[in-house]
Structure 1
Amino acid sequence: MKNINIMAGGPSCLIPDLSAYHDSSTHWIGVDRGAATLLEAGIIPHEVFGDFDSITNEQKIALENEAPHFHIYQAEKDQTDLDLALSWAVEQEPLSIKLFGISGGRADHFLGNIQLLYQTLKKKIDTVMIDRQNTISMFSPGSYTVSHDPSKPYVSFLPFTELVKNLSLTGFKYSLNNCHITLGSTLCISNELIHSKGAFSFTEGILIMIRSDD
């Protein structure tokens, strides 16, 4: 399976135009209310996960009639619906996973969703969370390139672990050279690329990159 897109149940006002992410090679998953969001956008999800306590009976019937595969769970469980859907997606070994509908609304859900990125990082699956204003990715130690995106000019780096060692940034307005970043640091908030491409590297820890518009 080449690419998987997952739509969770976040506020529709934060969901971008999905046509830019929809093609024949993409396998869509709807998570609870997010499955109904996909139908409203004219996209039939291949897989649907959830306890469906946040959609109407009419929406549930429409999904049952359209979606090929339905995974129903009890409301009381040890994993969130998104966690269950993401675990299934990881087992398919896709080239990439894109997550939508994961921001806005409850803060506990949003922070928990960011931590789910660690699941795909361990499996070395390219994964990004996307909403109208931001993209969020997680990285293990290594060297990476970043291309300029005029729609999201601001680039921030945050440590996910207690320490990120030897972080270097080149091609950015504010460069770094082998700098140690500790958990809680705001040193790398709101940077910008000054060329068409930039690069970052580090040798230890886990790093989150957030690209945003204003």
Structure 2
Amino acid sequence: MEINIVGGGPEELLPDLSEFRHDGNVWVGVDRGVFTLLSKGITPYMAFGDFDSVTATETKKIEKHVHVMKKFKPEKDETDMELAFNWALGEQPEKIRMFGATGGRLDHFFANVQLLLKPALNNIELNIEIIDKQNHILIKTPGSYEMKINQDRKYISFIPMSPFVKGLTLEGFKYPLKDCQIPWGSTLCISNELISDYGTFSFSEGILMVIRSQD
């Protein structure tokens, strides 16, 4: 099972959600993201939020079409996205994708990025991604990984999300690395590119954010 969570970020930053409509996928709406899903012909399995960003008319439409709604007061200890994310983790899916999690307020964006770290910090192996029209963000723990070239996301950046990422090796890239240590604050690994159909990256210690982007 894969869970797709759609938040209330700017709709113009969303990718084509139809690309992610596969059998067995579960859709979850967060606050205004619920109405966004309905407007695109996707009925979410669940809805989370205080729904302070939708009108009374939009709320009625949500209540009519979504059978499981988790309503919360605006004054709470977690964001609406975190509440949905925690539920998704409890379902133990193969993958979690987050849409509508970028753009708009920077505090919400950084909070959503930090959610990606939860499984890694708790030693849980799980594929989690933030995807928008221009970027694809994911977190990796130590290991070796293969990447396929994608001209729509040709720029690839590696950002340490722990004090150090050790043993970083990049093969098949325009700017290769061999057993390199990357500290917090380094921009060494920004805007790399694959030079063949496939490349690999590996590292031995730390937590690494991988961002595939287009201009």
TM bin, normalised by shorter chain, reads over 0.9
User: Secondary structure of the equivalent of 2:200?
Assistant: strand
Q: 1:197 & 1:41 partners in 2: Cα distance?
A: 34
Q: 1:211 & 1:50 partners in 2: Cα distance?
A: 29
Unaligned ranges ≥5, structure 2: none
Q: Give the drift of 1:74.
A: 0.7
Q: Give the drift of 1:171.
A: 0.6
Q: Which residue of 1 aligns with 2:162?
A: 161
Q: Which residue of 1 aligns with 2:196?
A: 195
User: Secondary structure of the equivalent of 1:191?
Assistant: coil
Deviations 1:174-208 (A, max 9, x none): 00000000000000000000111111111111000
Q: Give the drift of 1:24.
A: 2.3
Q: Which residue of 1 aligns with 2:47?
A: 48
Between the aligned residues of both structures, percent identity stands at 47
Q: 2:33 & 2:12 partners in 1: Cα distance?
A: 13
Q: Give the drift of 1:143.
A: 0.8
RMSD over aligned CA atoms reads 0.8
Equivalent residues in 2 for 1:70-149, closer than 5 Å? 70-121=69-120, 122=122, 123-149=124-150
Deviations 1:19-78 (A, max 9, x none): 101122110000001111101111000000000001011111111111121000110000
Contact 1:142 1:202 in 2 (8 A): yes
User: Secondary structure of the equivalent of 2:182?
Assistant: strand
User: Secondary structure of the equivalent of 1:114?
Assistant: helix
The aligned length equals 213
Question: Aligned partner of 2:13: which letter?
Answer: L
The list of structure 1 runs, each at least 4 consecutive aligned residues, that deviate by more than 6 angstroms after superposition, is none
Q: Give the drift of 1:125.
A: 1.4
User: Secondary structure of the equivalent of 1:52?
Assistant: coil
Question: Aligned partner of 1:141: which letter?
Answer: P
Q: 2:93 & 2:18 partners in 1: Cα distance?
A: 20
